[in-house]
Amino acid sequence: MQINDLISHTSEWLKGIGPNSDVVISSRIRLARNLNKFPFPHWASKAQLNAVLEASSQALEKVPLLKKSTLFVLANLDSIDKQFLVERHLMSIEHTQKTEQKAVLVNDEENIAVMINEEDHLRIQLMQSGFNLFEAWEIISGIDDCLAKLLDYAYLDDFGYLTACPTNTGTGMRGSVMLHLPALVMSRQIERVLAAIAKLSFTTRGLYGEGTQASGNFFQISNQVSLGHSESEIIENINGLIRQIIEQETQAREIMLTKSKAVLEDRINRSLGILKSARIITSQETIELLSMVRLGSDLGMIKDIDRRTINELFIITQPAHLQKLEQVKLSSDQRDLKRAELIRKKLNLL
Amino acid sequence: MLCDVCNKNPATVHLTEIIDEQMNELHLCEDCARHKSAAMEQQFGLSDLLAGMADFEKPSTKEEEVVTIKCPSCGLTYADFKKIGRLGCGECYNAFRKYLAPLLKRIHGSNQHIGKNPTKVKAITKLSRKKVGLSELKNQLQKAISQEAFEEAARLRDQIKAMEDKKEKES
């Protein structure tokens, strides 16, 4: 598989199916693992990083679930390709920096990605559509079991899996759920919800993980604590919190529907109208308007556009995706024109 | 809402300053926020926080020991860790155990791992290839508890819970 092959198909997790998929976009589990006897990436020499890259990629080849996958060596990719992978949530922004001896393995279904030599030697992630952390855990744990037999992990009985940053030590696990909370934002309840989340030692981030702002009513919530609880306990804790947030969002949507249906309908249809007719549009505006259209689709106000199409539009209207589709480098102004054109085409065809 | 300074761009950065117990709210666009304070650019990152927390670990004994204590495997000193907020290798955890154990406790509320274990995985997978049923797992759990093999018991408990949750979801 080549980078260019990715653009023509949709990632598994974008399907818009699975439990609670009206509020939950995706569930993600990632495990941080390091190899014994090798310094962590930031402290390792080039030769050591090379050895880690080689040992890891060889082991990954032997994992049955990863039979159909491709290893992208980042030093061979240009900046648009790298950004493209970030936009598809296959790797972090951090992984695009200082790319020597870094790689990312992606399976054909695009729900599993393994970053090599990011902050830790291995960052294994699995994305699922909808609210589905336990299933994600079972799959990723199976992959981890295979790798544990092939690689010598850095591990201590008392501290667990050892990671470069002590905030990941222990299980090395981070579970994240991407939520779409337009009704909580519109009814100005979101600040209260986010404050409560922070108090419970969970983190809220934006669409693209660490260091990104929440935008277009999307919030990624994940556990902070990785040591002292088993993986299933951590997941159960996240699930408990997410269930409550889903309930609050659903309630807020119901209240809006009964109290201000006309206003809501107006806003949703205006958003769709702009998307269908705009000639110039920024990615920020696109995200905000698509968020409203998604809400409209979830509430049954928009019937002819399905969730999958909307999810897809979120991704393909991002800067690197547009440039990949056009196969030329585009300035920001040119992108705004092309973006509007692409959205019009997609939405008016339906 | 427009930026308080330039009144042109939408305000995306909201600052609350507390000066002499007076609370000021400032709504700025990204550009003005950047101009407003170079200090804001210099993000107060996780490594600063960790370094700050690590500072509390200064024991009553010799301070110098903390700074010069060095990982025999990778050569990273505790002072390096305090500066960059990252450890050098797995062995660092042993080398700095005295200082890391309380630090981990402060971060996670515990410094005792009770999750997966890669050596167990190696040993166990051969057995569990045959699908072990829920009742069999429960028997094993009872046995582990009676033998006071608590680590094993915790692992079995999690496994049972995961299976039960799955069942519940399916039904």
The model's pLDDT over A272-324, given as tens digits with 9 standing for 90+, comes to 999 999 999 999 999 999 999 999 999 999 999 988 899 999 999 999 999 99
Q: How many residues does chain B have?
A: 171
Whether A166 and B87 lie within 8 Å, measured CB to CB: yes
Query: B140: closest CA among B154, B129, B130, B123?
Result: B154
Residues of B near A (Cβ–Cβ under 8 Å) read 12, 46, 50, 73-74, 76, 84-90, 93-94, 100, 103-104, 107-119, 121-122, 125, 154-155, 158, 161-162, 165-166, 169
Whether A39 and B110 lie within 8 Å, measured CB to CB: no
Specify the pLDDT at position A147: 97
Query: A299: closest CA among A257, A242, A260?
Result: A257
Query: B105: closest CA among A128, A170, A219?
Result: A170
Chain A residues whose CB is inside 8 A of the B110 CB are 227-229
Chain A residues whose CB is inside 8 A of the B119 CB are 155
What is the maximum span of chain B, computed from C-alpha positions, in angstroms?
Answer: 72
- The minimum CA-CA distance between A2 and chain B, rounded to whole Å, is 34
- The minimum CA-CA distance between A240 and chain B, rounded to whole Å, is 13
Residue identified by tokens 């210099």 is: B42
A250: CB partners within 8 A, 6+ apart: A22, A23
- The CA-CA-CA angle for residues A148, A149, A155, to 5°, reads 40
> Can you say whether residue A2 is alpha, beta or left, with left for phi > 0 and alpha for psi between -120 and 50 degrees?
beta
Rounded to whole angstroms, the Cα distance separating B103 from B106 reads: 5
Which residues on neighbouring strands pair with residue A106, listed in sequence order?
A70, A113
A293 and chain B in contact, CB less than 8 A: no
How many CA atoms lie less than 13 Å away from B74 in the CB half-sphere? 28
Whether A154 and B90 lie within 8 Å, measured CB to CB: yes
- The minimum CA-CA distance between B56 and chain A, rounded to whole Å, is 15
Which residues on neighbouring strands pair with residue A176, listed in sequence order?
A28, A222
Which residues on neighbouring strands pair with residue A27, listed in sequence order?
A128, A177
Specify the pLDDT at position B41: 38
Whether B112 and A153 lie within 8 Å, measured CB to CB: no
Chain A residues whose CB is inside 8 A of the B154 CB are 230
Whether A148 and B74 lie within 8 Å, measured CB to CB: no
More confident residue, B143 or B54: B143
Query: A299: closest CA among A241, A245, A349, A252?
Result: A252
Rounded to whole angstroms, the Cα distance separating A46 from A55 reads: 14
Tell me if B160 sits within 8 A of B167, measured CB to CB: no
Specify the pLDDT at position B63: 60
Whether A164 and B108 lie within 8 Å, measured CB to CB: no
Low-confidence stretches of chain A (pLDDT < 50) are none
Whether A153 and B100 lie within 8 Å, measured CB to CB: no
Identity (one letter) of the amino acid at A279? R
Specify the pLDDT at position B39: 43
Chain B residues whose CB is inside 8 A of the A34 CB are 90
Rounded to whole angstroms, the Cα distance separating A82 from A343 reads: 23
Chain B residues whose CB is inside 8 A of the A230 CB are 114-116, 154-155, 158
Identity (one letter) of the amino acid at A206? G
Rounded to whole angstroms, the Cα distance separating B36 from B11 reads: 13
* ipTM higher than threshold 0.90: no
Whether A154 and B112 lie within 8 Å, measured CB to CB: no
A240-273 pLDDT, tens digit per residue, is 999 999 999 999 999 999 999 999 999 999 999 9
B14-67 pLDDT, tens digit per residue, is 666 555 445 566 777 777 776 665 444 344 455 556 666 665 554 445 566 667
Instruction: Please give the helix or strand (H or E) that residue B58 lies within, else none.
Output: none
Specify the pLDDT at position B19: 52
Whether A145 and B46 lie within 8 Å, measured CB to CB: no
CA B43 to chain centre: 19
SS (H, E, C) chain A: CCHHHHCCCCCHHHHCCCCCCCCEEEEEEEEEECECCCCCHHHCCHHHHHHHHHHHHHHHHCCHHHCCEEEEEHHHCCHHHHHHHHHCCCCCCHHHCCCCCCEEEEECCCCEEEEECCCCCEEEEEEEECCCHHHHHHHHHHHHHHHHHHCCECEECCCEECCCCCCCCECCEEEEEEEECHHHHHCCCHHHHHHHHHHCCEEEEECCECCCCCCCCEEEEEECCCCCCCHHHHHHHHHHHHHHHHHHHHHHHHHHHHHCHHHHHHHHHHHHHHHHHCCCCCHHHHHHHHHHHHHHHHCCCCCCCCHHHHHHHHHHCCHHHHHHHHCCCCCHHHHHHHHHHHHHHHHHHC
Specify the pLDDT at position B128: 45
- CB-count burial class (<10 Å; 0-12, 13-18, 19+) for B11: buried
Residue identified by tokens 């650019």 is: B41
Specify the pLDDT at position B24: 63
Q: Please report the sign of the dihedral spanned by the C-alpha atoms of residue B88, residue B109, residue B122, residue B125.
A: negative
Chain A residues whose CB is inside 8 A of the B100 CB are 159, 166
pLDDT band, very low/low/confident/very high, at B164 (cuts 50, 70, 90): confident
The total of other beta-carbon atoms located within 10 Å of residue A151's CB is: 21
Rounded to whole angstroms, the Cα distance separating A56 from B20 reads: 55
